[in-house]
Amino acid sequence: MGELDAVIHQPVRLKIMAALKALPPTEQIEFVRLRKIVDATEGNLGAHIQTLEQAGYVTVEKDFADNRPRTRVRLSKQGRRAFEDYVAYLRDLIDGQSG
């Protein structure tokens, strides 16, 4: 069994990763919608997304829609694998406890 991924394990980042994992691999979610899902402030969410981006777990795209700035986030292939490994680690912990 590996080690727990401390980047993902932080509660807000875990919520972000879970929300993004629920999307199809190529789909993005807008920052505003993600903020509502994870119930975080704008600054808090931005800081956590930056941490996930630095780890290579998410990609961030900034552009304009109707002359307004828009930020969209997507789970990277590396992030998808990391989240799957994280869930597998937790399952292994549970299976080890029940035996």
CATH number of the domain enclosing 94: 1.10.10.10
Structural domain contains residue 41 = yes
What distances in angstroms separate CA 3 from CA 16, 50, 76, 79, 95, one per listed residue?
Answer: 20, 22, 21, 16, 16
**How many domains are contained in the chain?**
1
Structural domain contains residue 35 = yes
User: Are 52 and 83 spatial neighbours (Cβ–Cβ below 8 Å)?
Assistant: no
What distances in angstroms separate CA 90 from CA 39, 51, 58, 78, one per listed residue?
Answer: 24, 22, 21, 18
Structural domain contains residue 13 = yes
Per-residue pLDDT of 16-68, as tens digits, reads 999 999 999 999 999 999 999 999 999 999 999 999 999 999 999 999 988 89
Structural domain contains residue 1 = no
Higher-pLDDT residue of 27 and 96 is 27
Predicted confidence band of residue 3 (pLDDT cuts 50, 70, 90) = confident
pLDDT for residue 1:
57
Structural domain contains residue 14 = yes
pLDDT for residue 95:
86
Structural domain contains residue 48 = yes
**Domain membership of residue 44 as a residue range:** 6-98
DSSP letter for 22, please. T
Amino acid making up residue 71: T
